[in-house]
A and B are shown apart, each in its own frame.
Chain A
Amino acid sequence: MNFKLVDFTLKSLKRNMTKKLSVIFIFTVLVFLLVSVFSISSSIKKELLISVDSLPELIVQKMSGGRQTLIPVERAFEIASIPGVNNAYDRVWGYYFFENVNVNFTILGLDFDLETYKKKYDNIIEMNSDIIDTSNTPFMIAGKGVVEIFNSYYNPNYFDFIKGNGKRMRTNIAGSFSDESALETNDVILMPIQNVRELFDIEEHLATDIVVRVPNPEEIDVVKQKIQFMYPDCRLVSRQDIEASYQNVFDYKSGLFLSLLIAAFVAFFILIYDKTSGLSLEDKREIGILKAVGWQVENILQIKFIEGAIISLFSFSFGTGLALFYVYTLQAPLLRNLFTGASYLKPEFDLLPIVDLQVLSLIFILTVPIYIMATIIPSWRAAIIDADEVMH
């Protein structure tokens, strides 16, 4: 590497400063927006993918007229007998709309005495030790968002659910979920299963849906087909379906925003087109002079390569650095709302700091080499013709 040529190039960057700064600005903004959008999307996707392994392999819903209805509990026993199925159990859960605050709580019924559940919730639930005997009165474990709503709009110790028959069901708050699981549990209320049945008026022989555990991934499709054959009125939602639908949604959300970046893309490509379509007279004259005083074509290409590389690499790095700081340190104010949508129970959560090197590489390949080529090609065209012709 001839550092004298590097020096010449760096000094020449100070010439036409306005034009070069505007190129750097557009380039940086474009990279900033691209990296920000992809980073937010990757972070939220990761949040989902982290927990996807904990989800059941299959969920069975009964459909009637295209809508979900309650499913007979006995189907769980029949499904459990299918070879390949490790476990199948009914689940009672639903949404409770608290009209005064316009929020939906997700209410899930659990058998709190069951050993399997005891093991699971012991580490993630903070019990209110000064409360109540959970053996008789209805109680709940609430997500942090729910607790805050109750504190602000009702009562910090209990809530009166209104049942379908108009009667109230006072339910004490026995504990809350930890802060770390806020994103997954902020709007969740766990209650004893019989209380949920009572609240939603779901009879003993019915359930909201049936969870099916199939440990061998190879057998999931077969089990799905068998269940579908057994119960044609059912809809089966697999773990892969959930993964795929979120992939689609985040790709759609990213795509929607990226289409709004069209203005930035257009500006960038106009820049590229302008560069490749030809040099200014002054630039051509300069190349002619360099050739006339003894520079070879490769020397000229070297300085143009260095110039293109410095501008594009600087812009790419600066844009990427700013974007990562904006997303993971400042937590992407404004932009992240695009992905999360409207919610009154939106938890305070930090975006997981995922740096997807594949995405960065893709953005790098789509911008840096293109810009460098756009700088080199017109210079090469000018450099290969006779110096005399170029100068005049």
Chain B
Amino acid sequence: MFSDLTPTSKKILLVFIAVISFTILEIGYYNFEYRNLSSTILQKKKAVSLTQLPDLAFVTETVWLRHRSITSLFSVFPEDGNLLDYYPSSFVYNLQLPNKSKQVNQYSNEEPRNEF
């Protein structure tokens, strides 16, 4: 059977089988990795159980909790951190862009005004 293949053909077939095998092994590996994440998954479940908040941290920078009555699908994910949520146009620009790199009250000795 395989003796009917010339060395060149065997090389090509070997490469072909290697790629397919690698992909199958890769799929198996990632499935295995996922199963090993059970403790991580448990942590995630507990965190949500505590906060009861459904959003992932990269979408929480919006104002309200998601509902299908919200018309704009596009406001679900923020397009930019500078865009502040606003009805009815769904966002408004914050024109006074603060200097993000400025350190504020870093180890300041100044006492806060008017205590709690």
Give me the interface of A with B, judged by CB distance under 8 Å: 1-4, 6-7, 10-11, 13-14, 44, 47-48, 50-56, 59, 61, 66-68, 91, 93, 95, 97, 99-104, 106, 108, 110, 117, 120-121, 123-124, 138, 143, 145, 152-155, 160, 166-170, 177-178, 180-188, 190, 198, 209, 211, 235, 237, 241-242, 244-246, 248-249, 252-253, 310, 313-314, 317-318, 320-321, 324-325, 328, 340-347, 352-355, 357
Enumerate chain B residues within 8 angstroms of A344, measured Cβ to Cβ.
Answer: 61, 81
Interchain CB contact (< 8 A) of B104 among A6, A93, A100, A138: A100
Closest to A137 in B: B116
Minimum CB–CB distance for A149 against chain B, Å? 10
Residues of A near B30 (CB, < 8 A) are: 324, 328, 353-355
| A188: chain B residues within 8 A (beta carbon) | 51, 53, 57, 60
Task: Classify the secondary structure of B's interface with A.
Answer: loop
Which residues of the other chain, A, contact B40 by a CB distance below 8 angstroms? 180
The answer on a CB contact under 8 Å between A341 and B54 is no
A253 with B116: CB separation less than 8 A = no
Measured CB to CB, the closest approach of chain A to B7, in angstroms, equals 10
The answer on a CB contact under 8 Å between B57 and A10 is no
Contact B105 A183 (CB under 8 A): no
User: What are 8 A-to-B residue pairs whose CB atoms are below 8 Å?
Assistant: A6-B13, A7-B4, A7-B5, A44-B56, A55-B52, A124-B47, A178-B47, A245-B76
**A132 to B28 alpha-carbon distance, docked (Å):** 48
B46 touches A10 (CB 8 A): no
- In the complex, which of the residues B16, B19, B37, B65 contacts A59, with contact meaning CB atoms closer than 8 Å? B65
Q: Judge whether A155 and B107 touch: CB under 8 Å.
A: yes
CA distance A261 to B114 in the complex (A): 58
Q: Which residues of B contact A (CB under 8 A)?
A: 1-2, 4-6, 8-9, 12-13, 16, 19-20, 22-23, 26-27, 30-31, 33-34, 37, 39-41, 43-54, 56-61, 63-69, 73, 76-82, 84, 87, 94, 97-100, 102-107, 112-116
Chain B residues whose C-beta falls within 8 Å of the C-beta of A324 in the assembled complex: 23, 26-27, 30
The answer to whether B105 and A343 have CB atoms under 8 Å apart is no
Residues in B neighbouring A235, C-beta threshold 8 A: 67, 69
For the A-B complex, the count of residue pairs with Cβ-Cβ distances under 8 Å equals: 252
Contacts of A153 in B (CB 8 A): 103-104, 106
CB < 8 Å neighbour of A353 from B16, B31, B53, B66: B31
A68, A241, A253, A355: the one contacting B64 at CB < 8 Å is A68
Query: Considering the chains assembled together, what is the distance between the CA atoms of A50 and B22 in angstroms?
Result: 29
Contacts known (A7-B5, A68-B64); A347 close to B57, Cβ less than 8 A: yes
Q: Tell me the complex Cα distance, A10–B52, Å.
A: 59
Q: Is the CB of B43 within 8 A of A181?
A: yes
* Residues on B with beta carbons closer than 8 Å to the beta carbon of A245: 66-68, 76
Tell me, rounded to whole Å, the shortest Cβ–Cβ distance linking B23 to chain A: 4
Q: Which of B58, B76, B81 has the most CB of A within 10 A?
A: B58
Contact B54 A181 (CB under 8 A): no
Q: How far is the CA of A352 from the CA of B44 in the complex (A)?
A: 12
Q: A7-B6, A14-B8, A352-B37 are in contact. List 20 more A-B contacts (CB 8 A).
A: A6-B13, A50-B44, A55-B54, A102-B98, A123-B43, A124-B50, A154-B106, A177-B47, A181-B47, A184-B48, A184-B51, A186-B57, A241-B68, A249-B76, A313-B16, A318-B19, A324-B26, A342-B78, A342-B79, A343-B81
